[in-house]
Amino acid sequence: MAAGLGEHGHQCETAADGMAGLDAARADRFDVLIVDRMMPRMDGVTMVETLRREGDKTPVLFLSALGEIQDRVRGLNAGGDDYLVKPYALAELIARVEALSRRREMGGVQTLLKVGDLEMDLIARTVRRGGVEIDLQPREFQLLEFLMRHGGQSVTRTMLLEKVWEYHFDPQTNVIDVHISRLRSKIDKGFDKPMLQTVRGAGYRLEA
């Protein structure tokens, strides 16, 4: 599931059980939570009920093999926004995730990122610098989004591996260098001032 979402340009984090999912949801901001009904340590309904009591309004898509009407109603009453019964098609999962994401974005969540004259529209999934549209591949878009959300800050290679590639280990490849080089050629080429900086011994920084 995470691999399929990643191929469609979504950045994902996974948790092995309900308690881990609850901790992750509390620690970070997500556009959508995909929650299995049946999980070790804490079931999905209890997890979502806990988040809702704490004021977390992140859209939730429940996944479950339990497809009876009362099961769906139980999930929705617990605070779920949508319910998908297993087995499911990946295309439908992605469509539902994107619909929930759009609903949240139109509800006031930030949908436009801007660093200097570089702008990213998270709904239209477009990037422009100085009004000129820049064509990015999905992974390049994810990488730039992460850099823009941390505009002016140094981000380490470890942060990029974990948050953009979802590697919790060093794969000992030049994957970051290759993508940084491609991204730099697209957002800096033809402009007077380069924005994507290499911070020696630290990582990278996107500066206006």
pTM surpassing 0.95? Answer: no
* 170 pLDDT above the threshold of 80: no
Residue 151 to residue 144: CA distance in whole angstroms: 10
- pLDDT tens-place string over residues 126-161: 999 998 999 999 889 999 999 998 888 888 988 888
* 106 pLDDT above the threshold of 60: no
Position 104 scores a pLDDT of 64
State which of 106, 131, 162 marks the end of a domain. Answer: 106
- What's the domain range around 86? 2-106
Q: Kindly state whether residues 44 and 75 are assigned to the same domain.
A: yes
Coil/strand/helix, residue 129: strand
Q: Kindly state whether residues 43 and 84 are assigned to the same domain.
A: yes
| 51 closest CA partner among 25, 87, 88, 31 | 25
User: For the chain, what is the total number of helices (H) and then of strands (E)?
Assistant: 8, 9
Q: Work out how many domains the chain is built from and give that number.
A: 2
* 108 pLDDT above the threshold of 60: no
